[in-house]
């Protein structure tokens, strides 16, 4: 429909689930399946390959296990970032460290976790992915696709593309597409950018996705998909916890609210 410049039927909804955790297969697919909905899964392929688990979850894991104290963390850029686990809520500290890491070069991020974050916090770096953070298996992914769900790539390591040198970005895109193609024996045409803010990818990535057969890509900017939309910048609402909020998104009331908020903004 987007290719033809047509409007999507009103109340069209597509559900997407990013990253590929085990409970996306064990729980989400089952619950949505009971109501006859298909889901679209975006998988971190290095996670399903058991080579790593997502860096943002590792930050939370390590901070939740650290002794309450004040520590100085040396960021990948060399800058010192103070963490106060004595006087702050742990979730606030997790949020601030993750936000800071999103601004850093993420090229060596997984090494940095092992050589800096875990040691400074005096938390043992787990040899294996902890059970609560396990991925689904490739067999699970194949089952999902057999059941009619969509299964697509979401990079190999979940690092933010725009923070990486060009060759690494290309590898993230190319290898994750190839891993999904090899395991599921089909050519995926849809992709989702890790973190997905407008600053997290650029036209270099879009061009590279196109070269490898991708026709649509999702970011995480909240919004509706409309006729004429750039297919490589499809917005998504995050699923609200409250079903009233969900209804407001689906019935279009949220569009009205967004318009009002736009009107309320002073002209730049
Ligand atoms: Zn993700």
* pLDDT tens digit sequence for 49-91: 999 999 999 999 999 999 989 999 999 999 999 999 999 999 9
Q: Are residues 66 and 113 in the same domain?
A: yes
The number of distinct structural domains making up the chain is: 2
Pick the more confident residue, 267 or 173.
173
Mean pLDDT along residues 112-129:
97
- Residue 260 inside a domain? The answer is no
- Residue 114 inside a domain? The answer is yes
- Residue 224 inside a domain? The answer is yes
Q: Are residues 143 and 187 in the same domain?
A: yes
Q: Are residues 231 and 174 in the same domain?
A: yes
Q: Are residues 86 and 198 in the same domain?
A: no
Give yes or no for residue 266 having a pLDDT over 80.
no
Q: Are residues 59 and 41 in the same domain?
A: no
Pick the more confident residue, 125 or 258.
125
Give yes or no for residue 268 having a pLDDT over 80.
no
- Strands 70-74, 190-192: parallel, antiparallel or unpaired by DSSP? unpaired
pLDDT of residue 253: 82
CATH number at 214 reads 3.20.20.370
pLDDT of residue 256: 82
Q: Are residues 184 and 223 in the same domain?
A: yes
Pick the more confident residue, 227 or 143.
143
Average pLDDT of the chain is: 94
Q: Are residues 217 and 153 in the same domain?
A: yes
Distance 109 CA to ligand 1 centre (A): 16
Model pLDDT for residues 85-102, shown as the tens digit of each residue = 999 999 999 999 999 999
Mean pLDDT along residues 151-155:
98
pLDDT of residue 78: 95
Percent of the chain with pLDDT over 90: 83
Q: Are residues 159 and 221 in the same domain?
A: yes
Q: Are residues 42 and 59 in the same domain?
A: no
Q: Are residues 20 and 103 in the same domain?
A: no
pLDDT of residue 56: 96
Is 62 in contact with 123 (CB distance < 8 Å)? yes
Q: Are residues 42 and 68 in the same domain?
A: no
Distance 190 CA to ligand 1 centre (A): 14
pLDDT of residue 164: 97
Distance 136 CA to ligand 1 centre (A): 14
Which residues have a Cβ under 8 Å from the Cβ of 197 and sit 6 or more positions away?
219, 220, 221
- Residue 258 inside a domain? The answer is no
Give yes or no for residue 5 having a pLDDT over 90.
no
Domain that holds residue 76: 55-121
Distance 192 CA to ligand 1 centre (A): 8
The protein residues having their C-beta less than 5 angstroms from ligand 1 (an ion) are 18-19
Mean pLDDT along residues 216-224:
95
Distance 23 CA to ligand 1 centre (A): 15
């Amino acid at each position: 429909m987007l290719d033809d410049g047509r409007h999507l039927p009103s109340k069209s909804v597509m559900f997407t689930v990013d990253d590929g955790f085990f409970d996306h297969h064990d729980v989400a697919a089952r619950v949505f399946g009971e109501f006859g909905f298909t889901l679209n899964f975006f998988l971190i392929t290095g996670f399903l390959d058991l080579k790593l688990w997502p860096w943002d979850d590792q930050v939370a894991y390590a901070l939740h296990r650290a002794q309450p104290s004040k520590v100085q963390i040396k960021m990948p850029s060399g800058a010192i970032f103070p963490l106060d686990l004595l006087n702050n809520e742990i979730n606030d500290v997790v949020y601030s460290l993750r936000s800071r890491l999103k601004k850093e070069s993420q090229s060596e991020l997984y090494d940095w976790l092992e050589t800096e974050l875990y040691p400074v916090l005096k938390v043992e770096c787990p040899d294996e992915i902890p059970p609560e953070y396990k991925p689904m298996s490739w067999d699970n992914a194949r089952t999902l696709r057999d059941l009619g769900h969509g299964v697509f790539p979401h990079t190999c390591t979940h690092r933010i593309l725009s923070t990486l040198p060009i060759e690494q970005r290309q590898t993230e895109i190319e290898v994750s597409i190839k891993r999904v193609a090899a395991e599921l024996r089909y050519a995926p045409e849809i992709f989702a950018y890790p973190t997905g803010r407008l600053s997290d990818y650029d036209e270099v990535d879009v061009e590279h996705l196109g070269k490898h057969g991708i026709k649509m890509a999702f970011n995480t900017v909240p919004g509706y998909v409309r006729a004429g939309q750039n297919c490589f910048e499809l917005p998504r609402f995050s699923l609200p916890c409250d079903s009233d909020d969900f209804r407001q998104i689906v019935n279009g009331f949220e569009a009205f609210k967004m318009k009002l908020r736009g009107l309320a903004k002073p002209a730049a």
